[in-house]
Structure 1
Amino acid sequence: MTESLIQLPTAGEPVIDTFDRMIRTGPIVPYELPGGVRAWMAVSHQAVSEVLAGDGTLFSKNTRNCPAMHDGTIPADWPLRVLTDADHLLNMDGNDHMRMRRAIARAFTPARVAQLEPRIDQLTNDLIDKFADQPEVDLVDSFTMPLPVAVICELFGVPASDRPKFRGWTAALISHNSTGEQTQAAMQEMVGYLSGLVADKHSDPGDDLTSDLVRAQPEHGLADAELVEMLWIIIVAGHETTMHLLGNAVVALYTYPEQLAAARAGDRWAEVVEETLRYRNAACAMFNRYALRDVRIAGVDIPAGAIVGWYAGVGRDPQKYPDADVFDLDRDHSDQLGFGRGPHFCLGAHLARLESRIALATLFGRFPGLRLACDPTEIPYAPQFMTNGPLCVPVQLQPAD
């Protein structure tokens, strides 16, 4: 690796700009994670495709295949260890991964997700009812954050009074400003809560996915500890990324008002979701893969044991998408990599797409005169690099008659 590495995040630079700079550097580039940890990031469409195709053969998801995690190179208090060292789906390979994935995958099939549409529609309208008579609101605080939290937590049987806790825990885990102590504390609290939830479902099961998973434990050989690890990663990922997907979509539509007009005129909200996934994906740095041997990716040599990530916003690669920094509903989204590919394809992709389509169609349908209360360039973005989205989206409301 070279001595001068791009830092992720780079102080004072929006993370999307850092990644755009990385894309111009090469297909897969060396960079530096918080704490001075060195890694590689696949940023071109070709490089990301090759990395994802190498799951289980060229790359492992388990830290046992990363010497730096065990020889003292990466310290024990590295803040990201709570994510890289946990025994959850994102860190598993082969049979262990398939066993865990089968246990939950049936809940996220297109047919099962489609059955949720009436309830998501109701939750969406209930949230809008709470602020519909206000002249101006922050959509993040009032809509794009609470809706995904409500959907995923209700799905897994988390009581409404406990749902705000997950925002605090997630913020501590995701922010690059968190210390190792802060991330460990957040993880311990969340795991403790979910352990209690699983225990409650053992004694008093209900009509929710956690109860379904408890009932299916014998079939899948699923221990309570494994179930807890599965729950936290799904609940955290299931609301964090959808929250930012919605916020990014709203900002993009007001940055390109002709695209908003096209979406409204043609009911093209599904295409808005797909183009947002390409233009400004909520997920950014997916970093936990480890080279099983010396490999060559997109013509670049990567040493065995190296940490290799991939950029989920790869839709900004200008070699794949001409004028990649322009939001355009007419693009071909058939080769979309925003949710990954292969054995680790995002389980919640169908839910995120459905939820986002309903939310955007309902929001703009109920407020045909809705407009940003500031210039799109003034929107502040979250100080993190694993996900990417606005901290606030102030809007002025003009409800339908």
Structure 2
Amino acid sequence: MRPRPYPVPFLATDETVPEALARLRGIAPVVPVELPGSVVVWAVLSHEAVKEVLGNDNRVFGKDKKHWPALHDGTIAEDWPLRTFLHGNHINTTDGTDHRRLRDYFGDAFSPRMVAALAERVREIVTTLLDSAEAGGDEIDLVPAFTEQVPMRVICELYGVPESAHALLRQRATTVLSHTSTPEAVHIARSRLHEYLGDLVDQKRAEPGDDLTSALVHARRGEDRLSHTELVDLLCLTLLAGHETTAHALANSIVSLCTHRDQLALAARDGLWSKVVEESLRVSSPVQANPFRFSLRETTVCGVDIPRGEALLVCLGGAGTDPNQYGPTAGEFDITRQPSPHLSFAYGPHFCAGAPLARLEGRIALSGLFGRFPDLDLTVGAKDIPYRSNFVTYGPASVPARLNRR
């Protein structure tokens, strides 16, 4: 193999995550980068490269952390904050037969039929939140009042979690996912999250209800059933990944629609909310950089040599705005764009099992919000919207808006 290129910083000072991915993609489709903690991985940046890696899961690349020697030989510190993404034994950290076994249990809960059955309850949740917004003042921060609330309430209802625990679960999820959280804070938040979900599993085992937790606790595939640890890890993954990403997707969509009023008018007039959801996912992927995959052998990706035992950061955000795939306007939000599939829900064996539910929530929440408040607008410029301190899941920390009620 050719000499390994010298790694470059993943994020420069005062650089946004999308700006960083565009800069790196301009260097090469795959670039060695240095993450916080001086850990070097390969950033996979172009649409072609991302699809090539995802399409070779279980053959050339794996998700099990045992395939990354640097994680186990002392090269990477034990308190490295990003280790949190490698914890647990669930559908995002397993390969092959183990992955298919876990996904079979989980996939049933998010089948198109099951998701369609949730539509009416999602509408009720959205309506309740909009009623609360209408009862308040004209100015609102849509993140805590709406975009975080919709997916949290939906997923907690799926789990059978009481409303009194919603805010606490959200707080712990945010701490775990933020790369600025201290290792101690991440450890405490994750431990308490696992403790809560473990108690929930025990409760549903003793007193099952009509919810996803109960269904998973009592599910069987022949003689096989999920262990307590597998159940808790699976629930934790869904809470962390599914809630955070959908909240960011909703917030990103609102910002894009408010700054493209012509497209908002078109979506409202013709009911093009599905196109809004897909275009927002493409141009503002809520998962900008997906950690991690590991090279199972020496290989090349888009002509770039990757040694065996290396970690790859799959940059879905870079793929979504790649001009080689979407043309010179790739970075612009345009719901009239000719259809071109995006990779924001991944591709191949690890395609997101929760994609149907995320799409449903997006359509219902956005059509409900702008149907109730068609003149809703931001109270700050788009460049003044603050974003959460995370480069994995990426979205607004606040969306200050004025409802402009009629």
Query: TM-score interval w.r.t. the shorter chain?
Result: over 0.9
Cα displacement (A) at 1:84: 1.1
Which residue is 2:402 aligned to? 396
Cα displacement (A) at 1:287: 1.9
Distance 1:31 1:303 in 2: 15
Which residue is 2:382 aligned to? 376
Which residue is 2:226 aligned to? 222
Q: After superposition, where does 1:294-373 map in structure 2 within 5 Å?
A: 294-313=298-317, 314-322=319-327, 323-373=329-379
Indicate conservation of the 8 Å contact 2:173/2:239, yes or no.
no
Cα displacement (A) at 1:383: 1.1
Shifted more, 200-209 versus 16-25: the winner is 16-25
Distance 2:189 2:58 in 1: 30
Cα displacement (A) at 1:3: 3.5
Structure 1 ranges of 4+ moved more than 4 A? none
- Write the deviation string for residues 328-352 of structure 1: whole angstroms up to 9, x where unpaired: 1122344221101111100110000
Distance 1:290 1:380 in 2: 33
Q: 1:171 aligns with which of 174, 177, 180?
A: 174
> Alpha carbon RMSD of aligned pairs, Å?
1.3
Indicate conservation of the 8 Å contact 1:41/1:287, yes or no.
no
Distance 1:295 1:57 in 2: 11
Indicate conservation of the 8 Å contact 1:275/1:333, yes or no.
no
Distance 2:51 2:221 in 1: 36
1:233 aligns with 2:221: no
Q: 1:181 aligns with which of 180, 184, 198?
A: 184
1:242 aligns with 2:246: yes
Indicate conservation of the 8 Å contact 1:65/1:292, yes or no.
yes
Q: After superposition, where does 1:1-400 map in structure 2 within 5 Å?
A: 1-7=4-10, 9-133=11-135, 134-217=137-220, 219=222, 220-313=224-317, 314-322=319-327, 323-400=329-406
Cα displacement (A) at 1:375: 1.4
Indicate conservation of the 8 Å contact 2:257/2:264, yes or no.
yes
Cα displacement (A) at 1:217: 4.6
Distance 1:231 1:102 in 2: 15
Unaligned runs of 5+ in 1: none
Distance 1:41 1:3 in 2: 13
Question: Which one-letter code corresponds to 2:282 in the other structure?
Answer: R
The SS at the match of 1:289 is strand
Indicate conservation of the 8 Å contact 2:7/2:31, yes or no.
no
Distance 2:182 2:311 in 1: 21
Cα displacement (A) at 1:5: 0.8
Distance 1:186 1:16 in 2: 28
Question: Which one-letter code corresponds to 1:61 in the other structure?
Answer: K
**Percentage of matched positions with identical amino acids:** 43
TM-score (norm 2): 0.96
Unaligned runs of 5+ in 2: none
- Write the deviation string for residues 266-322 of structure 1: whole angstroms up to 9, x where unpaired: 111110000001111111111211000111001100010000121122110011011
Indicate conservation of the 8 Å contact 2:85/2:291, yes or no.
no
Question: Which one-letter code corresponds to 2:323 in the other structure?
Answer: P
- Write the deviation string for residues 120-144 of structure 1: whole angstroms up to 9, x where unpaired: 0000000111111321100001000
Cα gap change, 1:334/1:326 in structure 2, threshold over 3 Å: closer, same or farther? closer
The SS at the match of 2:336 is coil
Question: Which one-letter code corresponds to 2:203 in the other structure?
Answer: D
The SS at the match of 2:236 is helix
TM-score (norm 1): 0.97
The SS at the match of 1:31 is strand
The SS at the match of 1:319 is helix
Indicate conservation of the 8 Å contact 1:67/1:305, yes or no.
yes
Indicate conservation of the 8 Å contact 2:287/2:394, yes or no.
yes
